[in-house]
Chains A and B, each alone.
Chain A
Amino acid sequence: DVVMTQSPLSLPVTLGQPASISCRSSQSLVYSDGNTYLHWIQQRPGQSPRRLIYRVSNRDSGVPDRFSGSGSGTDFTLKISRVEAEDVGVYYCIQATHLSFTFGPGTKVEIK
């Protein structure tokens, strides 16, 4: 299986400051159709997960534009331009290029 790693695993952030989460895969996530199936999932405390970003850099409907995704191949990043209180939670990357799909371990974002 493709191994997904994330760093940092814990991210204390000051409100209004930027945050960045790195996600790396053990092999390229470019699929045979040319797409890269790397998504970002947010899970707020006590809530079901929700998808934030799909295929590296596409924001889902209703996701604030302070969230952005970038990267290619095996190296990806989720950025929050200015952290707000509602952004507290755990963020996971997941690769859906290779079976079986695999999640990263999660990065816990908290307010300092």
Chain B
Amino acid sequence: EVQLVESGGGLVKPGGSLRLSCAASGFTFSNAWMGWVRQAPGKGLEWVGRIKSKTDGETTDYGAPVKGRFTISRDDSKDMLYLQMNSLKTEDTAVYYCTTEDLSWWGQGTLVTVTS
């Protein structure tokens, strides 16, 4: 059974940093392109970014609102996906979902609240 379990969410001040983690199981993680999607409270879904597999260059792509501030990385030896978030803004407050890049599998989400 495929499982994606996010962790690392919490309260952070504007300008601060936070790293989210996603533990993957039930599939060959090293072959998978992975991504993050977020959802602000009461709002719709927003694509954050993706990372390709190592075989495909491990390159990353990001949505405009987070480009230059967020970094997606992976550790295939641990089946882990990460989202490093820097220079956080209040508008980054959202539930962050770990997903396979094709959106076929989603985690339960972790809440990030950016507030002073």
Chain A contact residues, CB within 8 Å of chain B: 1, 39, 41, 43, 48-51, 54, 60, 90, 92, 94, 96, 99-106
| 9-residue interface stretch from B17-25, B69-77, B82-90, B97-105 | B97-105
A103-B44, A105-B44 known; 9 new pairs, CB 8 Å cut-off, are A41-B45, A41-B103, A49-B106, A54-B102, A92-B44, A94-B45, A94-B47, A100-B47, A100-B62
Q: How many chain B residues have a CB neighbour from A under 8 Å?
A: 19
**Is A51 within 8 A of B45, CB to CB?**
no
Given contacts A48-B109, A100-B62, contact A54 B45 (CB under 8 A): no
Least Cβ distance of B12 to chain A in Å? 22
- Could you give, for residues 31-71 of chain B, a 1 whenever the CB lies within 8 Å of some chain A CB and a 0 otherwise? 00000010000001111011000000000011110000000
5 CB < 8 A contacts A-B: A1-B64, A51-B106, A54-B103, A92-B45, A100-B61
